[in-house]
Structure 1
Amino acid sequence: MPPTDSLPTFTKSIAITVRQPSKLRNLELVLLLVAIGVSGTAIALVQLGVNGAVDVGVLLQAGALGMLALGMHVALRVVARDADPFILPIATTLNGIGVAMIYRIDLARGLVGWEGLAIRQMVWAGVAMIIALGVIIAIRNHRVLARYRYVAMFVGIALLLLPMLPGIGLTLNGARLWIQVAGFTFQPGEIAKIALAVFFAGYLVTARDSLSLVGRRVLGLQLPRARDLGPILIIWVAAMGVLIFQRDLGTSLLYFGLFVVMIYVSTGRLSWVLIGLGLFLGGAAIASRTLTYVEGRFAAWLDSFNPEVYDAQGGSYQLVQGLFGMAHGGLVGRGLGRGDPTITPLAESDYIIASIGEELGLVGLFAILGLYLLFVARGFRIGFNGTDDFGRLLAVGLSFVIVLQVFVVVGGVTRVIPLTGLTTPFLAAGGSSLVANWIIAALLLRLSDEVRHQPRLVVDE
């Protein structure tokens, strides 16, 4: 018999991912305090730059939003202890900088209190944060949403159609995207994009096999069957309907782009992206030749400095003024409260990026884009680490909504692509957009908490 100490030993170890929720939440708290400090400092600098004095009352009103953000942090410690620690501070920072810039434009126009947009934006931010908190508390398991994917589809379609109804539909700046009820205006399409993301994620989980495994290879690409093109054609028709009847190129691109990206993530087939790009570019090309609205957008993009285009109704005046404003800001900007952003129409909404570029310069814009990049990267990370297909698709879809909006807005303002009517997430004035983006942040927080709850087992023998 060999000695016992010479016998081979077999060990089995199970490694369980150790979560440290207290450290995550402590990191979030530190970053959140920094975010609140940045927002408050921005408002104070705006006041000093314009008036040469600090108005404590406005700072206290903005401080109420900071308290709401801290309240969300406390709630996360209870109901979502493992949630991502970066999403809430980033959203708070962007929201705070947006409020500061809108307040700066109000001061330049001599608007105070409810006459201006800054106070309304603060109220909407408070409402949006409360709704986001409600989403985190109410949705304890994101898989429940998959059961209601067709309900989400009907809700999304209904929200898209609401602005077309007589009596409540409202046309602003040439686009019919708003409804007006009891004196309040709201853009239902902002909520529709979340409902459609839920539907797309639920639908693609069930239809993924037929969309990814069946088809024939042509020139190295596996093309889908003709019958499988139905869903993408339906979404394309809906997107073109938004473009034609609601006169909004950006929203049309957002809905169609969202579906194309989610179907690509679901199937892994590049052919879907190529088909989607071909369909949308073809539709946009036809629209640019047949629709006056789209033709004007392309003319303003391609020939911005032509005096005839510059002076035309709906021409390139806004685009050129925004470019001059950003050029005036240079590398480090004129300083908060020291520029002249009001020379650009809609400086507080469509062109808030140009306003920030003038006063914070290229460095400030890069910092803003860096925050968006980190927000989206955390969203994609949540999707890639997800434990179920529906959660993965939903996280990627919601993150893509943010990144596409930022690309379309910044690309339009900088003349990389034709200008569209989308809003800059968390920054631009507008209550409906703010509510929708905070709901997206809440859903990502909930998804990240559930991802970290799943232990990872490693067996060694």
Structure 2
Amino acid sequence: MATVVSYTARPRRTLQALMLAFAVAIGVTAYALVGLGRFQELPDDLLQYGIGAVVLAVVLQLVVTWRAPYADPVILPIALLLNLIGIAVIASVDSAIGLYTSRTTSYADRQELWAVVGIVVCSLVLVGLRDHRILRRYTWIAAVCGAALLLLPMLPFIGSEINGSRIWIKVAGYSFQPAELAKIFFAVFFAGYLVSRRDTLALAGPKVLGIQFPRWADFGPILVAWAFSLAVLVVETDLGTSIMFFGLFVAMLYVATDRLSWLVIGAIMFVPPAIIAVTQVARVRTRLTCWLDPMSSENFDRCRQINNGLFGLANGGISGTGLGEGRPNVVSFAHSDFIYTVIAEEMGMIGAFAVLVLYLVLVERALRAAVGISDGFGTLLAGGLGFVLALQVFVVVGGITRVIPLTGLTLPFLASGGSSLVCNWIVVGILVRLSDAARRPAARQVPGLASSAPAAAPAASASTRAEGAR
């Protein structure tokens, strides 16, 4: 006779509370330093800002303790810290614009509002999504929703072109970037599709020159993903979103099949769209020119944004000019696309690398949840969401530092933008739920015991264990 015995796991909510408090302390201190650096006085709204940050941290702590007690204790503090640092840096941009150009901007105030909305939505995700496996039921619905969101800016009347890219929609005076929400739907779709086809994608199909190709029956969704990325690139002239979606699918294919050949196939499939973009899309061609030679006399004026960004990076040096003491008003879109330049200028190379380390730890925690979770769908979903965060950071920072051509993506949690911030908090909510499933105490069969297992720690079903083993 056998019975189920559960192991006692450590929820580590106290550690999370301490780290949230540490994140709030750093964020509020950074906000105060901006006022001291720019005007030699504390910001007038420092007390309200500090109280608001504390309230948000308490809300996150209570919701996770209630709904996801075994979640990773590091994910939420890092997300909150990045969000608060972003608000402080955006406030520095606002103050510099007001001081040096006599214009008034309120990017930081709006970012504070969107941070509240994002954290509330993240909490609702944790409360409403009790089991991540429910999302697998909506695999194809997620595909339709993602495709609709991605194509929405192409529609007349609501589609809006900003700075040469048609990736926005405007409704009742408010703008929204649907691609940010579409990446979540596509991650759910890719995870649901690949977990059911992983064996055929990994084993079936012809092999040519050592590369395993899929069967035509399995290649259809791959071609659709490729076609959507091509449509976004050509019609919406948005290189960054195109790279993000196709890169997400190829990366999840690799995680599902464990075959390096998929990365080769993905690279080969992306070459034709890249050639089309460089030869036919003027905006992409300009960005390639500014990547190769931005400071020549011929290109200096049209590459002024990237050049000013490079000057800001150089001005920061090792330790930076200090928060609130840089000149972010010189760089176009310093509050959004080029916010990493402001961080590097005012916090120096030390601060810039510290921010990258925070992203690295956040992605590592997502991958740790992917490894520890018991079902294949959860593994692919956690891995996909972690990868899309990593890819966004690489594309943005790589474009600013001229590692790759500049694209139009935003830096998660740091850059100004309501749609980006809210959607990234949704990603964090899903990752917290997945990490709770990965860390929740497992149960095992122990022969010879007659007592029954506690109801609070159910064993995984046989089908779930079999799927996780694959």
Question: Which band: TM-score by shorter chain?
Answer: over 0.9
The whole-number CA distance in structure 1 between the counterparts of 2:223 and 2:398 is 27
Match of 1:380 in 2: 367
**1:101-122 CA distance string (max 9 Å, x none):** 0001101111899941100000
Are the counterparts in 2 of residues 35 and 89 from structure 1 also a CA contact under 8 Å? yes
Aligned-partner Cα distance in 2 for 1:152–1:102: 34
Q: Tell me the residue number matched to 1:394.
A: 381
Unaligned stretches of 5+ residues in structure 1? 1-11
Partner in structure 1 of residue 322 of structure 2: 335
Cα distance in 1 for residues equivalent to 2:205 and 2:125:
40
The one-character-per-residue Cα deviations of 1:332-362 (angstroms, maximum 9, x if unpaired) are 1111111112111101100000110000011
Note the C-alpha offset of 1:139. 0.3
Q: Distance in 2 between matches of 1:383 and 1:18?
A: 21
Q: Is 1:104–2:92 an aligned residue pair?
A: yes
Task: Give the Cα–Cα distance (whole angstroms) in 1 for the partners of residues 323 and 288 of structure 2.
Answer: 33
Q: Does 1:44 align with 2:23?
A: no
**Paired residue for 2:257?**
267
Alignment of structure 1 residues 47-58 onto 2, 5 Å = 47-58=35-46
Q: Distance in 1 between matches of 2:47 and 2:155?
A: 41
**1:215 and 2:202 matched:** no
After TM superposition, the runs of 4+ consecutive aligned structure 1 residues lying more than 6 A away are 12-15, 111-114, 458-461
In structure 1, how many angstroms separate the alpha carbons of the residues matched to 2:67 and 2:117? 20
Letter in 1 for 2:255: V
Structure 2 partner of 1:31: 19
**Following the alignment from structure 2 to structure 1, what is the Cα–Cα distance between the partners of residues 149 and 420?**
14
Shift of 1:54: 0.6
* CA RMSD in angstroms, aligned pairs only: 2.0
Distance across 2 between alignment mates of 1:214 and 1:329? 53
Distance 1:113 1:98 in 2: 21
Check if 1:64 corresponds to 2:46: no
Query: Which 10-residue stretch deviates more, 403-412 or 303-312?
Result: 303-312
What are the Cα deviations for residues 19-63 of structure 1, in whole angstroms up to 9, with x where unaligned? 122xx1000000000000000000000000001001242441353
2:130 aligns with one of 140, 159, 166: 140
Tell me how far 1:309 sits from its aligned partner.
Answer: 1.6
1:438 corresponding residue in structure 2: 425
Letter in 2 for 1:444: L
TM-score (norm 2): 0.91
- Map of 2:276 onto structure 1: 286
Q: Whole-Å Cα distance in 2 between the matches of residues 319 and 295 of structure 1?
A: 15
Corresponding position: 1:360 with 2:347: yes
> Which shifted more, 263-272 or 97-106?
263-272
Alignment of 1:17-416 (within 5 A): 17-21=7-11, 24-110=12-98, 115-312=105-302, 316-416=303-403
Deviation at 1:225, TM superposition (A): 3.1
Does structure 1 conserve the Cα–Cα contact (< 8 Å) formed by 2:21 and 2:57?
no
Shift of residue 149, structure 1, vs aligned partner? 0.9
Contact 2:32 2:46 in 1 (8 A): no
Partner residue, 2:464? none
State the shift of 1:460 in Å. Answer: 10
Aligned length: 445
Structure 2, unaligned stretches of length 5 or more? Answer: 449-470
Shift of residue 295, structure 1, vs aligned partner: 1.0
Contact 2:328 2:334 in 1 (8 A): yes
Task: Report the alpha carbon displacement of residue 394 of structure 1 after superposing the two structures with TM.
Answer: 0.4
What's the TM-score, normalizing by structure 1? 0.93
Structure-2 separation of matches of 1:43 and 1:170:
33
Structure 1 residues 145 and 290, CA gap change in structure 2 (3 angstroms):
same
Shift of 1:458: 8.3
2:168–2:176 contact (8 Å) kept in structure 1:
yes
Supply the distance in 2 between the matched residues of 1:43 and 1:113 (Cα, whole angstroms).
Answer: 21
